[in-house]
Structure 1
Amino acid sequence: MSTPREMIGENEDAAPVEMLAALFEAHGWTTEQVNDEEVSGEVPGAWTTYQVRGIWRIEDKVLQIICLPEIRVSEDKRAAAYELLSRINEQLWLGHFEMWSQGGVILYRHGLMLGDDGMLSLDMAQMAVETAISECDRFYPAFQFVLWGDKSPRGALDAALVDAAGEA
């Protein structure tokens, strides 16, 4: 298996979609380059396999990282899920969680503003993907507690953060 540095080149930056595709491939993760502006990969986490998407907005020089933990919220759980999302987002420094109004899909989203050259370093790509997976892993149990365990959003978040702290 090649490393991303071998695929891109030592100390080389690359176009964002190209860099993410090389990173996914180097890790052996299933990857699909949707088009010149989007790449998708399946990345294993602690709780599930996440779909991680990189979407490049060339006109804004922004790479959007989206991580989908395959959580759908039923209509009857939406109010509790929105409260949980609000509580979770208070804990985050980078990115945020949201729920798409169509289908109730939970996702993590973060935008990286790149320089005028629009290039992405390997270290930045690795950090962005690792952060997305880490945050999804950290809060995945809270979603489970609310959606399937009927815990309150506050109780679910408290339990998830205590459980995560105990895993180290």
Structure 2
Amino acid sequence: MRTSEHDFAAQDDAAPVDMLAALFEARGWSFDVASDDEMSGEVQGSWAKYQLKAIWRAQDNVLQFLCLPEIRVQDDKKERAYELLSLINEQMWLGHFDIWSNGDVLLYRHGALLGDDGMLSLTQAQSLVENAIDECDRFYPAFQFVLWGDKAPRAALEAAMVDAAGEA
């Protein structure tokens, strides 16, 4: 049985998948726990629905957190997409964007190294989820400009950042 977000706040830390599942449940987001080491869910961002996936590697005490904005990169757009990825990743402090070779799917990936106890706090869980969604929302327009609008990567990123700066 999963514990609620409120209960985890009281005890502070929990197993990573349990903590994330409780957070998703508390926020009313759909999710599925595949095992003690893996869960997935779906969250509505500003631009699209994002598939979120968490994979716990106990042997390394690493929680890999993925956010997929449902963007596939066609072969004829890959060169520009990779150029845009490198420009975007230069600006990121946590995580990075990549294109999975299996299916050519764009994704945001962040590996969180947890302490020796392998526990995740509610604050850490919220930060992982919010950062992933925020980064996907921040750069989604740039990917649209390159993949669907045929803009040059640098121009697409500049246009996306101007648009984002214009929102209050």
Q: TM-score range by the shorter chain?
A: over 0.9
Letter in 1 for 2:66: I
Q: Equivalent residue for 2:31?
A: 31
Q: In the alignment, is the contact (CA less than 8 A) between 2:9 and 2:122 conserved in 1? A: no
Letter in 2 for 1:164: A
Give, in whole Å, the separation in 2 of the partners of 1:139 and 1:132: 11
Letter in 2 for 1:16: P
Give, in whole Å, the separation in 2 of the partners of 1:69 and 1:118: 28
Q: In the alignment, is the contact (CA less than 8 A) between 1:38 and 1:56 conserved in 2? A: yes
Give, in whole Å, the separation in 2 of the partners of 1:42 and 1:66: 11
Q: Equivalent residue for 2:21?
A: 21
Q: Equivalent residue for 1:167?
A: 167
Structure 1 segments unaligned to the other structure (5+ residues): none
Q: Equivalent residue for 1:93?
A: 93
Q: In the alignment, is the contact (CA less than 8 A) between 2:42 and 2:49 conserved in 1? A: yes
Q: Equivalent residue for 2:146?
A: 146
Q: For each residue in 1:97-155, what CA deviation from the matched residue of structure 2 results, as whole angstroms up to 9, or x when unmatched?
A: 00011221000000111111100000000011000000000000000000000000001
Structure 2 segments unaligned to the other structure (5+ residues): none
Q: Equivalent residue for 2:45?
A: 45
Letter in 2 for 1:84: L
- Secondary structure of the structure 2 residue equivalent to 1:137: helix
Give, in whole Å, the separation in 2 of the partners of 1:60 and 1:122: 21
Q: TM-score, normalised by structure 2?
A: 0.96
> Structure 1 residue 119 and structure 2 residue 119: aligned?
yes
Q: In the alignment, is the contact (CA less than 8 A) between 2:5 and 2:23 conserved in 1? A: yes
- Secondary structure of the structure 1 residue equivalent to 2:150: coil
Give, in whole Å, the separation in 1 of the partners of 2:88 and 2:9: 38
Q: Equivalent residue for 1:80?
A: 80
Percentage of pairs with the same residue: 66
Q: Equivalent residue for 2:6?
A: 5
Give, in whole Å, the separation in 1 of the partners of 2:145 and 2:38: 33
Q: In the alignment, is the contact (CA less than 8 A) between 2:42 and 2:50 conserved in 1? A: yes
* CA positional deviation for 1:64: 0.7
Q: Equivalent residue for 1:134?
A: 134
Q: TM-score, normalised by structure 1?
A: 0.96
Give the 4+ runs in structure 1 shifted more than 3 A: none
* CA positional deviation for 1:54: 0.8
